[in-house]
Amino acid sequence: MDFWTVRGGKKLYGSCRIQGSKNASLPILAASVLACGETELDCVPRLRDIDAALRILRHLGCRAEQDGNSLYIDARGLVHSCIPEDLMHEMRSSVIFMGALLARCGEARLSPPGGCRLGKRPIDLHLKALRQLGAEVEERGGEILCRAEKLRGTVIRLPFPSVGATENTMLAASAAEGETVIEGAAREPEIEALQDYLNAMGCRVCGAGTGRIVIEPRGPRGSVRFRIQPDRIAAATLACACAAAGGEIELLDAEPAHFSTVLHFLKEAGCDIITKQCCLTVRSDGRLRAVGTITTEPYPGFPTDAQPVLMAALLRAEGVTRIRETIFENRFRQVPELRKLGAEIRLEGQTAEIRGVAHLTGAELEATDLRGGAAMLVAGLTAEGETRVRDEGHIARGYERFDRVLSALGAEVRRTDS
């Protein structure tokens, strides 16, 4: 159990480097089982979700070691295609190993994944795509078994641009006979990162970043070295923290284009945003204004992962902001906790109406999920007095040493273990 203590009222100043992307790292870790040699990854964040993925790799028989932000994987010794239930339940992204194991071993046996409880997140699209590639999929007793003597390339049309289904399809198709085309693919930057890794490994993949991806398998290379892109949600969280608390921070090694919709609304709220190629500066006096209506959408729309932290930044903004959530049915789980600080938030279905208040007051809160927990820390930066967040490890799943990052920028934040 983690306890985060935040004392509000401090403006943020200084610069910090953005951590490597969690959501880019995890599918690439799964993809590493396809390599016939070694994989070396740079800029991998030290997170609980990364640790969970490494435990899965080791269970499968791979050698997997992390030293700082460098990571080494040797998948030549892979001997298993089954992932135990306890490892699957540690994180949502564990399901990505399904496509990779099917491609490498011809079978994969696993249970439904865990992760944050944000509502229904079925993997039906994953399974349908694998079946279209020629896999036999059986679901029985809480276990999913995929088998395929031979995978065959085909045209797969996704009715919704699911990131996980797109990634699983790309991984399985990398070992299929013939070309695979994914229509209606997810367009997130993390999909482009997976494409770049697969190409470095010897496949021929193109189209990532658009709705149509083409995968043409080729013989894998012996070794791969790859650099993980910066985490756009971590960068968005820090930008929202500065917007709420006030001050001026520089985010180094960031990709502003990857979270431009978040920056758009911060500008609308009154922040000064200065972007350069790989960094940006956020300047705020802490007196924000409401921004009208925000609707979460698949990329390149406003990201659902940034919704809680932007909500937290706007709790004291003058006027009324409405946020419409279209991705996850339980993405507003942070709202009851933010209300304990004095926030005025009204929920009606999948829409939250935030009416800015003059003051927030510190309180005892409980983190509900990864991004909701981060939102409580952002809100605590603007609250009078002390805010204490009880956390079962959600925040450390996605933010590397977040207490040290915020403290280095001038915030009063302390994290302790029970």
Tens-place pLDDT, residues 209-252: 999 999 998 876 678 999 999 999 999 999 999 999 999 999 99
Alpha-helical segments (H) within 178-298 = 189-201, 232-245, 260-268
Q: Residues with Cβ < 8 Å from 300, sequence gap 6 or more?
A: 187, 260, 261
Tens-place pLDDT, residues 90-115: 876 789 999 999 999 999 999 876 54
Q: Is the dihedral of CA 264, 265, 269, 272 positive or negative?
A: negative
> Residues in the chain, how many?
418
C-beta separation of 123 from 129 below 8 A: no
Question: Mean of the pLDDT values across residues 60-65?
Answer: 96
Report whether pLDDT(117) > 60.
Answer: no
Distance CA 413, CA 418 (A): 16
- pLDDT number for residue 221: 66
- pLDDT number for residue 119: 42
Distance CA 42, CA 123 (A): 30
- pLDDT number for residue 115: 45
Report whether pLDDT(141) > 80.
Answer: no
Report whether pLDDT(121) > 60.
Answer: no
C-beta separation of 155 from 174 below 8 A: no
Distance CA 377, CA 343 (A): 14
| Order of strands across the sheet that contains 136-140 | 107-110, 143-147, 136-140
Q: Which helix (H) or strand (E) holds 269?
A: none
Report whether pLDDT(17) > 70.
Answer: yes
- State the greatest distance between any 2 C-alpha atoms of the chain, in Å, as a whole number: 64
* pLDDT tier at 150, thresholds 50, 70, 90: very high
Report whether pLDDT(143) > 90.
Answer: no
Structure tokens at 22: 């969690």
Distance CA 149, CA 70 (A): 36
Q: What is the CA 142 to chain-centroid distance, rounded?
A: 26
| Order of strands across the sheet that contains 279-284 | 12-17, 247-252, 279-284, 272-275
- Give the burial string for 160-175 (b: 16+ CB within 10 Å, else e): ebbbbbbbbbbbbbbb
C-beta separation of 190 from 214 below 8 A: no
* Residue in this structure with the two tokens 């480097």, named with its chain if needed: 17
- At residue 199's C-alpha, the angle toward residues 195 and 204, to 5°, is 95
- pLDDT number for residue 220: 66
Name the β-bridge partners of 212. 183
Q: Which helix (H) or strand (E) holds 23?
A: helix 22-31
* pLDDT tier at 278, thresholds 50, 70, 90: confident
Question: Mean of the pLDDT values across residues 275-302?
Answer: 96
Q: Is the dihedral of CA 392, 395, 397, 402 positive or negative?
A: negative
Question: Mean of the pLDDT values across residues 319-334?
Answer: 94
Report whether pLDDT(116) > 50.
Answer: no
Pairing, β 155-157 against β 180-183: parallel
Q: What is the CA 209 to chain-centroid distance, rounded?
A: 17
- pLDDT number for residue 114: 53
In percent, the amount of the chain with pLDDT more than 70 equals 97
Active site residues: 116
Question: Mean of the pLDDT values across residues 186-207?
Answer: 96
Average pLDDT score over the chain? 94
* pLDDT tier at 8, thresholds 50, 70, 90: very high
Distance CA 12, CA 15 (A): 9
Of the two residues 121 and 177, the one the predictor is more confident about is 177
